[in-house]
């Protein structure tokens, strides 16, 4: 388990990461979110022991990450490159050796990984001979080789075509099944909704959201119902506004109205309901809303909320993982 406790990093007196605490469980795909400049890269660099925190602790299975654990962690940075004038197999095997494999095992695993991503015929070609998409798949392989226990992937979907996005998702699921912990930093919120179990959102170095993805969405659900139905009566008790959204009707409720009562009222008035559901705000909208409103800084507290504070507010479900 990766545990980050009260980590602070300041540059020129400004806290880039401020009292951040969270944990990522084995076999979990965890999203690290936040707008540009939120402190995500600095936090990742501290987790990978590239930077040292000013205070706080970061441990992997109870041991500080700076010790002999470097080969247990792999990192695919957002801005990434490869040695261009070496054969693909050699470039990959090199990373394998640095993660503790012997030369033969490193080449064998490199070959297996290339096969997994459909590049088995390109092993002896120089990296510079590969297309950009192919190079991205090789870069992904550098994060996979050596079977690290913690994989940190920063915008891994960028630049991939739909087929390769699907391939990456499959690979991530395979790794999760094998007990590998994945920390995913991305701005593609649909991928977070599809792939991630839990998420942490930073804004200006502070934690502003932390918890299970579905809980976060529930918390930010607007007080509304989505229904697919025939003609609605002119007035429905408890409904403040009706609008059409993507072929469905969105019923925004009065603050004190209960969805159950509204549905009962519709049935009693003879409305033929084909389907109904709670209106859920997409994660992307939650992201924009949180960032725009500076929600984390607007709690009437003296400072930003801590992880515990966020959990108390129902934003997360610490300790209630799947």
- Residue 74 as a binder of another protein (CB under 8 A): the answer is yes
- Cα 298 to Cα 312: distance, rounded to the nearest angstrom: 16
12, with CB counted inside 10 A (0-12, 13-18, 19+), is exposed
Site string for another protein, 7-46 (x = CB under 8 A): --------------------------------------x-
Instruction: Kindly tell me which residue out of 1, 8, 15, 98 binds another protein, with binding defined by CB under 8 A.
Output: 98
How far CA 240 is from CA of 8, 256, 259, in Å, comes to: 45, 11, 12
Query: According to CB under 8 A, which residues from 225 to 264 bind another protein?
Result: none
95 makes contact with another protein (CB under 8 A): yes
Residues numbered 288-307 forming contacts with another protein, rule: CB under 8 A: none
Q: Are 57 and 31 in contact (CB under 8 A)?
A: no
**Cβ 127 to another protein, closest distance in Å?**
10
> Number of residues in contact with another protein, rule: CB under 8 A?
31
Q: Which residue is listed with tokens 């918890």?
A: 211
The reply on whether position 183 binds another protein by CB under 8 A is no
With CB under 8 A as the contact rule, the residue among 5, 25, 80, 218 that binds another protein is: 80
Identify the residue among 110, 152, 251, 286 touching another protein (CB under 8 A): 152
* CB nearer to another protein: pick between 182 and 281: 182
Among 27, 66, 111, 309, binds another protein (CB under 8 A): 66
Burial 269-293, CB ≥16 within 10 A → b, else e: eebeeeebeebbbebeebbeebbee
In the complex, the smallest distance separating the C-beta of residue 146 from another protein, rounded to whole angstroms, is: 8
Distance CA 131, CA 215 (A): 40
How far apart CA 60 and CA 148 sit, in angstroms, is 12
User: Which residue lies nearer to another protein by CB, 20 or 106?
Assistant: 106
Binding another protein by CB under 8 A: which of 142, 181, 185, 279? Answer: 142
Q: CB of 35 within 8 A of CB of 28?
A: no
Binding flag, residue 94, another protein (CB under 8 A): yes
Question: Which residues neighbour 115 within 8 Å (Cβ) at sequence distance 6 or greater?
Answer: none
In whole angstroms, the minimum distance from the beta carbon of 217 to another protein comes to: 32
Residue 64 sits at the vertex; the CA angle it makes with 34 and 11, to the nearest 5 degrees, is 45
Q: Nearest distance from residue 14's CB to another protein, in Å?
A: 14
Residue 319 binds another protein, judged by CB under 8 A = no
Alpha carbon separation from 210 to 193, 196, 220, 296 (Å, rounded): 14, 12, 13, 11
Residue 209 pairs in a beta bridge with: 201
76 binds another protein (CB under 8 A): yes
Nearer to another protein, 75 or 157 (CB): 75
Q: Maximum CA pair distance of the chain?
A: 75
Whole-angstrom Cα distance, residue 214 to residue 193? Answer: 8
Other beta carbons within 10 Å of 52: 10
As beta bridge partners, residue 59 has 3, 64
Rule CB under 8 A: is residue 185 a binding residue for another protein?
no
Q: Does 143 bind another protein (CB under 8 A)?
A: yes
Region from 70-78, 179-187, 193-201, 208-216 binding another protein, contact rule CB under 8 A: 70-78
Q: Which residues bind another protein (CB under 8 A)?
A: 45, 48-50, 66-68, 70-71, 73-77, 79-86, 94-95, 97-99, 139, 142-143, 152
């Amino acid at each position: 388990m990766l545990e980050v406790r009260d980590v602070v990093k300041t540059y020129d007196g400004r806290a880039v990461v401020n009292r951040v605490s969270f944990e990522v469980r084995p076999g979990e795909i965890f999203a690290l979110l936040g707008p540009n400049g939120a402190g995500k890269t600095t936090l990742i660099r501290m987790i990978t022991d590239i930077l040292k925190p000013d205070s706080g602790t970061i441990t992997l299975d109870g041991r500080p990450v700076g010790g002999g654990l470097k080969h247990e962690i792999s990192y695919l940075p957002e801005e990434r490159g490869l040695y261009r004038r070496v054969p693909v197999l050699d470039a990959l095997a090199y990373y394998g050796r640095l993660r503790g494999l012997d030369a033969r095992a490193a080449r064998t695993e490199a070959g297996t990984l290339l096969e997994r991503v459909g590049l088995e015929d390109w092993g002896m070609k120089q990296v510079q001979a590969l297309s950009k998409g192919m190079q991205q798949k090789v870069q992904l392989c550098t994060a996979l080789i050596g079977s690290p226990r913690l994989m940190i992937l920063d915008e891994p979907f960028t630049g991939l075509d739909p087929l390769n996005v699907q391939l990456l998702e499959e690979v991530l699921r395979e790794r999760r099944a094998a007990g590998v912990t994945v920390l995913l930093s991305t701005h593609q919120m649909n991928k977070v909704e599809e792939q991630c179990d839990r998420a942490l959102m930073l804004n200006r170095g502070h934690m502003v959201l932390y918890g299970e993805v579905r809980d976060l969405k529930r918390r930010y659900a607007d007080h509304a119902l989505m229904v697919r139905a025939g003609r609605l009566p002119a007035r429905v008790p408890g409904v403040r506004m009706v609008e059409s959204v993507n072929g469905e009707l969105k019923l925004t409720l009065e603050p004190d109205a209960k969805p159950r009562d509204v549905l009962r009222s519709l049935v009693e008035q003879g409305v033929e309901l084909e389907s109904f559901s709670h209106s859920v705000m997409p994660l992307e909208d939650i992201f924009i809303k949180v960032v725009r409103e500076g929600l984390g800084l607007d709690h009437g507290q003296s400072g930003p909320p801590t992880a515990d504070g966020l959990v108390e507010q129902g934003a997360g479900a610490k300790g209630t993982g799947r």
